[in-house]
Amino acid sequence: MISAEDLASLVKSYNPKSNSDLIIAAYNYGREKHEGQFRKSGEPYYTHPVAVSVILANQKLDDASIITGLLHDTIEDTASTKQEIAELFSPEIAMLVDGVTNLTKMQLSSTATKEAENTRKLLMAIAKDMRVMLVKLADRLHNMSTIRAMTPEKQVQKARETMDIFAPLAGRMGMQSMREELEDLAFRVLNPEGRTSILRRFITLQKETGDVVDRISTDMRTELAKAGIEATVYGRAKKPYSIWRKMQEKELSFSRLSDIYGFRVITQNEADCYRVLGVIHQRWRAVPGRFKDYISQPKTNGYRSIHTTVKGRDGKQVEVQMRTQQMHDVAETGVAAHWSYKDGSRSENPFTVDPVRWIRELIEQFDTDEDPTAFLEAVKLEMYSDKVFCFTPKGEVIKLPRGATPIDFAYAIHTRIGHRTVGAKVDGLRYPLYKPLRNGQTIEVITAQGQMPHVDWLEMVVTGKAKTAINKSIKEQVRDQYILMGREFARAAFEHVNKKATDKALETAAKKLNLPSVDDMLAKLGSNDIRPRDVVHAVYSDLGHVEVENIDKQRAVIGLSKGQQVNRDICCQPLPGERIVGIKATGRGVIVHAIDCGLLEMFENNPAKWLDLHWHVGKHPAIYNVTMAMTISNDAGVLGHICTLIGEQQANISDLEFVDRRQDFYTIHMDVDLRDLEHFHSVLSSLEAENEVTSVVRLRRPDIVKSRILKAKG
């Protein structure tokens, strides 16, 4: 748990005018009031409000919000009163604390009438002061991250409430990072098997393809540098829930799902966003229909960015987002950017929107005596702003992704209706099949016997169900053409390895690929459902195998002079596969640091000490130590199971330290010997997939960095 002084320093780092004494006083007041209270996990209760205040500080919010985070449970759970808080701190803070208390008392997951009533109260509280909701979201985020201590029934209730109310509300407020975290934590409770399955698929994918994110990020940086564009590139695999949702919406398996990796390019200015787009499209092939310009047409929550999807390495589709730093701040923190501070003043971000206007307009549309169900439906339509809710002539609701057309609507009802669609009426009037639908419209689909899908429909639809059905129908129509194309692909692929695509070879390949016939295999080959090299390898499995060179420790690093000794520093523990630099150290040879190590700032003014180093490409021995911090359940056999998992990944545990022992959980630091960055991700993913592991992260050593920098500054 962070100390009062460290919390005050954290706030001071972005707001020099912050009242540190008041923050420290609130910290001590809250700790005193919660003395003797404990959480379900056995931790002192006050660790929770402190964690909430840290989340708010990381969003760079004002003093009142930070102090509200520290005191948000005092009125409800202690003898503290609103009047006492007003006298000791301020009427503003007392009002915020009271507002959060009232939100906490609401039972949002209840009957429709009660849910609508409480949802109205929730929105009115937000409209009064948005910071009440920011504190509540931080409170819910920390509670969800520690939900394992609750009963299973309580976990499901809170997770469902989070998924239905808080996560969508965070998304509607533009707080995308908060929404993704809340959704994934709720998903972990509501569908642990689904989440574990996706994580395990990631482990397998990483073994097969290596660190795709690092390779593509490096390629992008190289291309941008050639074009003279200064930008920062971030890459990551998407959250498990985000992937699961796409699988459900598009009705695809994990193996057929594209763009599971996302990349962000943060530029210096708006013009560079479009320059980056040109560079990306010149280097990689753009996927048709996957370009969106939210800079020229921002979303209602203030979101601005350019989105495109391209085919990267190995034909993998990846999504790339381009935006400026100010746009990025709004994209990540939404309305929180309206309250954030920079250099002691409220940050004036031109891309933030009025944080409460849409809520006030929504409340004003409905009188308190109107149908609560209608109000609740309107709220959900607003919060699920990435969805479109339309109606059949009989009044049935059809939920579609934003951008869906009447053809999507027809296929959502039934595949047969989709195939036979020839037109549509929207609210009684003829409506183009290519035009996107809007919330609340009533759609009547016009069909005709003998009608079949057209190829150009694929450009009009956005749902996976429609695309899959259309593709299947078109493939059936052109099956003979695909067989001819597939036969030609097979011939070329076999000739590439000096073999012939004989009937016997093709029959063997079809059998090995578990396909009913050669024609089925050729049809799939012609339609790109399978790759030519898969057909060849089904017959000649040893072709294309490349031996990977073993790299010993003496040859691990490239860029050293003859006789120079090299050592990894413990502050960042760099691994083969990561970008590194070397620092010449008297009597210690060359010290290798990760490129993002905080300690490097000590040597900014001494370029003579720097060496440009690279890891040798190949198979390194598992001798590179990395410290992993993890929290695991305190149950019989859990630690042994964790050690077995790491051993199964061919990694060795060289040290183990118990940092904290509690009744329900352990916090441990484990040193693991690894080969490279890919090996680390495999171990990390296998641990994250276990229900007994609450959290696991790579432990850098900021304490060492800080102490050395302070010592150097003397």
pLDDT, tens digit (0-9, with 9 covering 90-100), for 590-601: 899 888 787 888
Is 76 noted as a catalytic residue in this protein? yes
- Tokens 């509540």 belong to which residue? 136
CA angle 362, 364, 370 (to 5 degrees): 95
Higher model confidence: residue 465 or residue 43? 43
CA atoms within 13 A on the CB side of 408: 27
Q: Number of folded domains in the chain?
A: 5
User: Residue 283: pLDDT above 70?
Assistant: yes
Residue 356 within a domain: no
- The pLDDT value recorded for residue 668 is 92
Expressed as residue numbers, the domain containing 403 is 386-476
Neighbouring-strand partners of residue 614: 558
Q: Are residues 396 and 314 in the same domain?
A: no
Q: Are residues 109 and 207 in the same domain?
A: no
CA 680 to the chain's CA centroid: 19
- The pLDDT value recorded for residue 433 is 92
Tokens of 427: 């609210």
Q: How far apart are CA 477 and CA 469, in angstroms?
A: 13
Residue 703 within a domain: yes
Of 297-306, 349-358, 451-460, highest mean pLDDT: 451-460
Report the CATH number at residue 602.
3.30.70.260
Residue 354 within a domain: no
- The pLDDT value recorded for residue 545 is 46
Residue 222 within a domain: yes
| CA distances (Å), origin 530, targets 255, 510, 534, 538 | 12, 11, 7, 12
User: Residue 11: pLDDT above 80?
Assistant: yes
The residue type at 83: Q
pTM of the predicted protein model:
0.51
Q: Are residues 516 and 399 in the same domain?
A: no
Q: Are residues 426 and 309 in the same domain?
A: no
Q: What letter does residue 160 receive in the DSSP assignment?
A: H
- Cβ pair 433, 422 in contact under 8 A: no
- The pLDDT value recorded for residue 340 is 62
Tokens of 3: 């100390």
Q: Are residues 303 and 274 in the same domain?
A: yes
Which of 3-7, 164-168, 218-222, 353-357 has the lowest average pLDDT? Answer: 353-357
| CA distances (Å), origin 544, targets 496, 501, 548, 657 | 11, 17, 12, 45
- The pLDDT value recorded for residue 403 is 85
Higher model confidence: residue 545 or residue 386? 386
Which of 312, 341, 370 is where one domain is finished? 341
Q: How many CB atoms lie within 10 A of CB 9?
A: 15
Report the CATH number at residue 440.
3.10.20.30
Is 77 noted as a catalytic residue in this protein? yes
Identify the H or E element spanning 69: helix 63-71
Q: How many CB atoms lie within 10 A of CB 54?
A: 19
- The pLDDT value recorded for residue 687 is 84
Q: What is the pLDDT of residues 614-661, one digit of tens each?
A: 888 678 899 999 999 999 888 888 898 899 989 888 899 999 999 888
Mean pLDDT of 478-504: 78
Q: How many CB atoms lie within 10 A of CB 514?
A: 8
User: Residue 352: pLDDT above 60?
Assistant: no
- Tokens 């302070």 belong to which residue? 710
Q: How far apart are CA 65 and CA 630, in angstroms?
A: 30
Residue 347 within a domain: no
Residue 415 within a domain: yes
Tokens of 447: 């069909």
For strands 421-426 and 443-447, give the pairing: antiparallel
Three-state SS string over 96-117 comes to: HHHHHHHHHHCCCCCCHHHHHH
pLDDT band of 307, cuts 50, 70, 90:
very high
- Cβ pair 638, 607 in contact under 8 A: no
Q: How far apart are CA 168 and CA 19, in angstroms?
A: 34
Which of 196-210, 345-359, 515-529 has the lowest average pLDDT? Answer: 345-359
- The pLDDT value recorded for residue 288 is 81
CA 275 to the chain's CA centroid: 26
- The pLDDT value recorded for residue 578 is 81
Q: How far apart are CA 398 and CA 414, in angstroms?
A: 12
pLDDT band of 546, cuts 50, 70, 90:
very low
Residue 581 within a domain: yes
Q: Are residues 27 and 100 in the same domain?
A: yes
- List the catalytic residue out of 5, 63, 73, 76: 76
User: Residue 705: pLDDT above 80?
Assistant: no
In 408-505, beta strands by DSSP E: 421-426, 429-430, 443-447
Report the CATH number at residue 206.
3.30.460.10
- The pLDDT value recorded for residue 369 is 43
Which of 114, 133, 149 is where one domain is finished? 149
Q: What are the percentages of helix, strand and coil residues in the chain, rounded to 5? A: 50, 15, 30
Q: Are residues 322 and 203 in the same domain?
A: yes
Which of 149, 178, 202 is where one domain is finished? 149
Q: How far apart are CA 593 and CA 567, in angstroms?
A: 9
Q: Are residues 326 and 202 in the same domain?
A: yes
pLDDT band of 322, cuts 50, 70, 90:
very high
Q: Are residues 440 and 489 in the same domain?
A: no
Q: Are residues 572 and 711 in the same domain?
A: yes
- List the catalytic residue out of 5, 35, 73, 77: 77
Q: What is the DSSP string of 372-421?
A: HHHHHHHHHHHH-TTEEEEE-TT--EEEEETT--HHHHHHHH-HHHHHTE
Q: Are residues 119 and 55 in the same domain?
A: yes
Q: What is the pLDDT of residues 550-570, one digit of tens each?
A: 888 888 888 888 878 888 888
CA 608 to the chain's CA centroid: 40
Of 27-31, 344-348, 436-440, highest mean pLDDT: 27-31
Q: How far apart are CA 84 and CA 77, in angstroms?
A: 15
- The pLDDT value recorded for residue 21 is 93
- Cβ pair 308, 290 in contact under 8 A: yes
- The pLDDT value recorded for residue 331 is 74
Q: Are residues 486 and 472 in the same domain?
A: no
User: Residue 497: pLDDT above 80?
Assistant: no
Q: How far apart are CA 382 and CA 357, in angstroms?
A: 12
- The pLDDT value recorded for residue 425 is 92
- The pLDDT value recorded for residue 372 is 55
Q: What is the pLDDT of residues 228-270, one digit of tens each?
A: 999 999 888 778 887 787 776 655 566 555 567 788 999 999 9
Residue 65 within a domain: yes
CA atoms within 13 A on the CB side of 599: 25
- Cβ pair 581, 600 in contact under 8 A: yes
Tokens of 232: 């920062």
Q: What is the DSSP string of 252-305?
A: --GGG----EEEEEEESSHHHHHHHHHHHHHHSEEPTT--EETTTS--TT----
**Residue 44: which of 25, 31, 55 has the closest Cα?**
31
Which of 159-163, 168-172, 247-251 has the lowest average pLDDT? Answer: 247-251
Q: How many CB atoms lie within 10 A of CB 343?
A: 9
User: Residue 87: pLDDT above 60?
Assistant: yes
Mean pLDDT of 143-147: 89
Neighbouring-strand partners of residue 423: 446
Higher model confidence: residue 313 or residue 68? 68
- The pLDDT value recorded for residue 368 is 46
- The pLDDT value recorded for residue 709 is 57
User: 695 by DSSP, 3-state: which?
Assistant: strand
Q: How far apart are CA 699 and CA 490, in angstroms?
A: 50
pLDDT band of 544, cuts 50, 70, 90:
very low
Side by side, the strands of the sheet bearing 421-426 are 429-430, 421-426, 443-447
- Cβ pair 639, 632 in contact under 8 A: yes
Tokens of 425: 């009426």
